[in-house]
Amino acid sequence: MDNLFFNVVFAVEIKPKTFLPILSNKQENKDLCDPKNQRFFMIQLLKAQKKLQKSGKDIYQSTKVEIDSLISKYDPRKFYNGKVENLFDAIIDLAEIPENNFRLFNKQQKQVQSIEEFNIEEIASIISETLLLEDLIQQLKGFFHMLQQMNLTVEETQEAYEKLRQRNLTNKQLQEVVEGKCQDPEIQKLAFKLLTFSSFQALSDLSIIASFRREGSGKFVEVGNQKLFYQYSIVDCDLKPLNKIGDYLSTIDELIKLRNYYDSLK
């Protein structure tokens, strides 16, 4: 990643996450129009719960105002909307409570809270203007919609994982499965479910790196009286270990419980 930041004026790492709901049979309401159904929002509630626990408080005894002060306003749907004003708002919201989802780097390649040359509104404007000129957002959105149409739940994936484990495959056989070289149709079917779910997890946690330089070639954006040459890259898109499916499944009950409690607040 160091090469991506070499000789930059500034660089940004963004984890846009997914706009899809939890892929579970337990998630009865999968309405995409309600941001509270998104896994991102529910994870925010889980993080708020942990923050409150550290101060000796119970989230189930907390008010909506208390909880809202601890969670990000970021809505992944705005990021993937395709409109510059919505993308701008999404970046601002992501930067307000960044956690690990928004990281800013200066010309010394150090992670910082701000840079001298541009404020956060200017940075969000530069990114929203240039990122929409790339095809990254539409590609990612297309992948998510394709996965959504498959309607594969984490419960189905867990079942496929257990069935595949019972086969006691050798490392060589597992490698053949991953590479699509396995000839057994039943194993192929199980493997497809696992790789599909692992792909969803990878897409949900990838990073988009934006780097801006005063010197370079190729695409540039004019800011004031200067040119900034920019480059976008996707990193951290590796398939997740299949044994992480259990971790994903184990949090679902609490996530839905938290969302339902938040929904009950006025």
Q: How many domains does the chain have?
A: 1
Encode pLDDT of 174-187 as tens digits: 777 767 788 888 98
The predicted pLDDT at position 215 comes to 86
The predicted pLDDT at position 180 comes to 73
Note the pTM of the prediction, 2 decimals: 0.87
The predicted pLDDT at position 151 comes to 84
The predicted pLDDT at position 244 comes to 72
The predicted pLDDT at position 1 comes to 52
> In percent, how much of the chain has pLDDT > 90?
52
Residue 2 pLDDT greater than 70, yes or no: no
The predicted pLDDT at position 32 comes to 67
Residue with the bigger pLDDT between 51 and 173: it is 51
Encode pLDDT of 191-235 as tens digits: 888 888 888 888 999 999 999 998 888 899 998 888 999 999 999
To the nearest 10°, report the CA torsion of 63, 68, 69, 73. Answer: 180
Question: How many other CB atoms are found less than 10 A from the CB of residue 103?
Answer: 17
86, HSE (Cβ side, Cα atoms, 13 Å):
11
Q: In angstroms, what CA-CA distances link 143 with 38, 92, 156, 262?
A: 17, 25, 20, 30
Q: Categorize the per-residue pLDDT at 254 as very low, low, confident or very high, splitting at 50, 70 and 90.
A: very high
**One-letter identity of residue 102:** F
Residue 65 tokens, joined: 């105002």
Q: Which long-range contacts (CB under 8 A, 24 or more apart) does 257-262 make?
A: 258/42, 258/45, 258/46, 258/49, 258/59, 259/36, 259/37, 259/41, 259/42, 259/45, 261/59, 261/60, 262/36, 262/45, 262/64, 262/67
Residue 30 pLDDT greater than 70, yes or no: no
The predicted pLDDT at position 152 comes to 87
Please state the separation of Cα 198 from the chain's center in Å.
13
What average pLDDT does range 244-264 have in this prediction? Answer: 88
The residue with tokens 């925010």 is 44
Lowest mean pLDDT among 82-86, 120-124, 222-226: 222-226
Can you give the residue range of the structural domain that contains 55?
2-264
Report how far residue 27's alpha carbon sits from residue 254's, in angstroms, rounded to the nearest whole number: 12
Evaluated on CA atoms 195, 250, 235, 238, the torsion sign reads: negative
Residue 73 pLDDT greater than 90, yes or no: yes
- Does residue 113 contact residue 104 with C-beta atoms inside 8 Å? yes
The predicted pLDDT at position 25 comes to 84
The predicted pLDDT at position 161 comes to 86
Report how far residue 196's alpha carbon sits from residue 188's, in angstroms, rounded to the nearest whole number: 12
- Does residue 255 contact residue 42 with C-beta atoms inside 8 Å? yes
The predicted pLDDT at position 115 comes to 92
Report how far residue 137's alpha carbon sits from residue 145's, in angstroms, rounded to the nearest whole number: 12
What average pLDDT does range 106-135 have in this prediction? Answer: 93
Q: How many residues are present in the chain?
A: 266
